[in-house]
Amino acid sequence: MSLISCRFYEDKFPEIDSFVMVNIAEMGAYVKLMEYGNIDGMILLSELSRRRIRSIQKLIRVGRNEVVVVLRVDKEKGYIDLSKRRVSPEDIVKCEERYNKGKMVASVMRHVAEKTRTPMETLYQHIGWPLNKRYGHAVDAFKLSINNPDVWSDIDFPSEAVKDELQSYISKRLTPQPTKVRADVEVTCFGYEGIDAVKTALRTAEAQNTAETNVKVKLVSPPLYVLTSQCLEKETGIKTLERAIEGVKKEIEGQRGSCIVKMAPKAVTESDDAELQDLMAKKERENAEVSGDESESESDEGPVQGDI
């Protein structure tokens, strides 16, 4: 058995009418079934496309991954006939999702195999395939095990070293990381108590904070403010900021002010955060330069420019 390669599923061959991910081999319509240990298959020329074929090379490119459907399987001879033209866009999405899950499990198994010198097929036999049966997919069981150790209660690990390495690696790699969501708004109020009105309105964004939906407000430079939230689900964070902005709008408009969304809530990356920090630092330097100009003019007899 190979140390670092194995099929994703217990069955050595795919079922007829199932959708599989293949990699186009060098010989035109000959392919490798990536989920089944790279066994050979062939896309029949009549099953390449619903349209007239002008160039096979343009239709299927060597080295490219494709989703195809299984037409026939001869387990004795190892022949697998496949079709590309019978695959719908919906089928492609579902197959890609399943394949990506399987690829993640394979990556985990490969790591454990290399660390413990245990063949991958042994790991699949004892861990991967039993979890597929019980939880639908081993990757779902892996994620569940982070907070629920009972997932492993019926698993017969090949060794304690395998158990320790697997649980440690899953904890490091699959623990959900919080997503940061951000929105930029301009809040203004030119009434008699405008400053207090803006402060009160922005406080409403943080008024409904919980451990799961925590909103923070930062000043970039009046009237621009940044609202941020961190949570495990991106959609939850977006909805949280949308509710916060609605609360700010309602409060400030009640004081005859306005709240304009300059950037709608969206998930941001570290580079976005770095750009925001650079912008805030730039505004801070500009304010510091103004303060310095004022101090130099203190010797003048007239009122200093910028004094309130």
In a domain, 308, yes or no: no
- The answer, yes or no, to whether residue 9 has pLDDT greater than 90, is yes
Beta strands in the chain (DSSP E): 19-24, 30-33, 39-43, 65-74, 79-83, 179-188, 214-221, 224-231, 258-267
Q: What is the pLDDT of residue 290?
A: 55
Q: Which of the four pLDDT bands, split at 50, 70 and 90, describes residue 305?
A: very low
Q: Which amino acid is at 129?
A: W
Mean pLDDT of 17-22: 95
Tell me: the pLDDT tens digits for 213-250? 789 999 988 899 999 998 878 888 899 999 999 999 99
Q: Is the peptide bond before 223 cis (omega within 30 degrees of 0)?
A: yes
Distance between CA atoms of 122 and 6, rounded to whole angstroms?
9
Tell me: the pLDDT tens digits for 131-162? 999 999 999 999 999 989 999 999 999 999 99
Q: Which of the four pLDDT bands, split at 50, 70 and 90, describes residue 302?
A: very low
Distance between CA atoms of 193 and 205, rounded to whole angstroms?
19
What is the share, in percent, of the chain residues with pLDDT greater than 70? 88
Q: How many helices (H) and strands (E) does the chain have?
A: 9, 9
Point out the domain boundary residue: 110, 142, 174.
174
* Nearby residues of 131 by Cβ (< 8 Å), 6 or more positions away: 137, 138, 141, 142, 151, 155
In a domain, 7, yes or no: no
Residue in the structure block whose two tokens are 């062939």: 42
- The answer, yes or no, to whether residue 35 has pLDDT greater than 60, is yes
pLDDT, averaged across the chain: 86
Q: What is the pLDDT of residue 58?
A: 64
In a domain, 190, yes or no: yes
Q: What is the pLDDT of residue 137?
A: 95
- The answer, yes or no, to whether residue 274 has pLDDT greater than 80, is no
In a domain, 304, yes or no: no
Q: What is the pLDDT of residue 307?
A: 38
Q: Give how many domains the chain has, as a whole number.
A: 3
Comparing 49-53, 90-94, 195-199, the range with the smallest average pLDDT is 49-53
Q: What is the pLDDT of residue 301?
A: 45
Which of 206, 209, 185, 180 has the alpha carbon at shortest distance from 264? 185
Which of 7, 56, 11, 50 has the alpha carbon at shortest distance from 32? 7
Q: What is the pLDDT of residue 306?
A: 38
Token readout for 239 is 């909805």
Point out the domain boundary residue: 141, 174, 207.
174
CATH code assigned at 228: 3.30.70.1130
146 shares its domain with 231? no
In a domain, 8, yes or no: no
Helical ranges in 124-193 per DSSP H: 129-135, 138-145, 160-174
Distance between CA atoms of 116 and 249, rounded to whole angstroms?
58
Please answer whether residues 128 and 105 qualify as being in contact, where contact means their C-beta atoms are separated by less than 8 angstroms.
yes
Q: What is the pLDDT of residue 188?
A: 94
- Of the CA atoms within 13 Å of residue 280, those in its CB half-sphere come to 12
146 shares its domain with 208? no
Separation in Å, CA 56 to CA 25, 29, 30, 62: 13, 8, 12, 10
- The answer, yes or no, to whether residue 205 has pLDDT greater than 50, is yes
Point out the domain boundary residue: 107, 141, 174.
174
In a domain, 121, yes or no: yes
**pTM across the whole model:** 0.61
CATH code assigned at 43: 2.40.50.140
The residue segments making up the domain with residue 270 are 184-279
Q: What is the pLDDT of residue 1?
A: 54
Distance between CA atoms of 145 and 41, rounded to whole angstroms?
36
For 107-124, give the secondary structure using H, E and C: HHHHHHHHHHCCCHHHHH
- The answer, yes or no, to whether residue 308 has pLDDT greater than 50, is no
Q: What is the pLDDT of residue 303?
A: 41
